[in-house]
Amino acid sequence: MIHLSLTTKFNEQLFDVNFMNFTDTISSIHHHLEVAEDELTGWLKLPMNMTIDDLNAIQFLSEEIKENADVLVVIGIGGSFLGAKAVREALSPNFTKNQNGIEVLFVGHNLSGSYMKHLIESLHHRDFYVNVISKSGATLETSVAFRILRQYSVERYGQNAKQRVIVTTDPENGLLREIAIAQGFRRLDIPSNIGGRYSLLTPVGLLPISVAGINITEILQGACQAAIDLEVDDIEKNEAYRYALLRYKLYSHGYQVELLASFEPRLSYIHEWWKQLFGESEGKDKKGLFPASVNYSTDLHSLGQFIQEGNPLLFETFLHFNNISEDYYIPFNRVDDDDLNYLSHRSLNEINAISKQGTVLAHAQGGVPIIQIELEKLDAFHIGYLIYFFMKACAISAYLIDVNPFNQPGVEAYKSKISDLLNLESIVNLVAE
């Protein structure tokens, strides 16, 4: 389902990866993932274990929201919002984000007062539901946004407000779970054995995606097919393992940055989700590739020069869908005053694909190693497949450099410092009063 290749025009021997040299290492990691019960590996079997009842419960709630609201406000940060936004952006028309559903807005991923003010103002004459997503319920950005939206919901709907609040959280522990029980909010569970950045295929992502009018059954079917395809303990047949090994080979030869590149603007938030997935999973113990992204052809006119001839610290991973259903053709102009008639009656997608080929050739010739990931079609099935592919490859990649893919001690560090400073500021203000 995924075609993977490496393109380079220099030092071919260096990048002639002999996958068979890694057979034992990959087998050991593969076995560890399959049997690990003390780590957050529940996402591995999730697509195959999702029951009809689980799916129906999400879809039933989605239909209720669409029937009774104009907007779903999703409150969350990191893995609690990036995945849903990425899928919605990738599978919705560029200028109409609610073609088959209702508008889905995101908040709680920043601390901007103007952003919140504008969001509240946008809801004044529209009906809305709130879906707050947090495993712990103690993330500052999410908690602050939820407090504001809870109060605004009561102002708008009074005692009926609790019917319009959906809490997605840990089924057994956490402050948000306690709030939901005390206030009578309906709850959806984030499985205890799945961490935030691996949670896109749980209710964390599936409810907002469904409300946006996207077929979550097809998303899960694609992920399920990927889980089956990528379960094989064979480097020659498992493309996720091959991708992980290519990244590892380049990293071990001094490359510091992986640049995810695509030629479709709707994929920009897929890039953002991918950056969190790999950044939080690999970036520990002073190790790991720095995940960055570009969206072409736009960024060819800003970063293209650096990529072509700048500091040789990066390699590119091109993400490409061979078939995008929407397209537009260049018209014939009898005057031809712009000298473009040689392109008339050719489609923009066709020209875009040629631009991608030319960029790959130019960058490779300039010394930039290129990994290419190709999928057949930009649709729900293949996006589901890609999500699972990246998650599986990410776990393997982290283990190859001997770090735990499922924790994030650095995140906890800055959360603690922010909390300390806010508490100190509160004490100072209290004394001053």
Q: Look up residue 268 and give its amino acid.
A: S
Print burial letters for 34-49: b (CB count within 10 Å at least 16), e (below 16).
eeeeeebbbbbebbee
141 is catalytic: no
Active-site residue among 258, 264, 280, 282? 280
Q: Is 99 exposed, middle or buried (0-12, 13-18, 19+ CB in 10 A)?
A: exposed
Residues 415 and 423: their CA atoms lie apart, in Å, by: 12
Print burial letters for 395-417: b (CB count within 10 Å at least 16), e (below 16).
bbbbbbbebbbbebeeeeeeeee
Q: Look up residue 194 and give its amino acid.
A: I
Contact 417, 300 (CB under 8 A): no
- Helix H segments across 253-347? 268-282, 304-309
Active-site residue among 97, 162, 275, 415? 415
Q: Look up residue 383 and give its amino acid.
A: I
Residues 193 and 115: their CA atoms lie apart, in Å, by: 33
Give me the sign of the Cα torsion angle 99, 104, 105, 106: negative
Residues 181 and 187: their CA atoms lie apart, in Å, by: 9
280 is catalytic: yes
Rg (alpha carbons) of the chain, rounded to whole number? 23
Residues 243 and 258: their CA atoms lie apart, in Å, by: 12
Contact 293, 274 (CB under 8 A): yes
**302 SS3 class:** coil
Record the tokens describing residue 125, joined without a space. 């004459």
Q: Is 168 exposed, middle or buried (0-12, 13-18, 19+ CB in 10 A)?
A: buried
**222 SS3 class:** helix
Residues 291 and 276: their CA atoms lie apart, in Å, by: 8
Q: Which residues are catalytic?
A: 280, 415
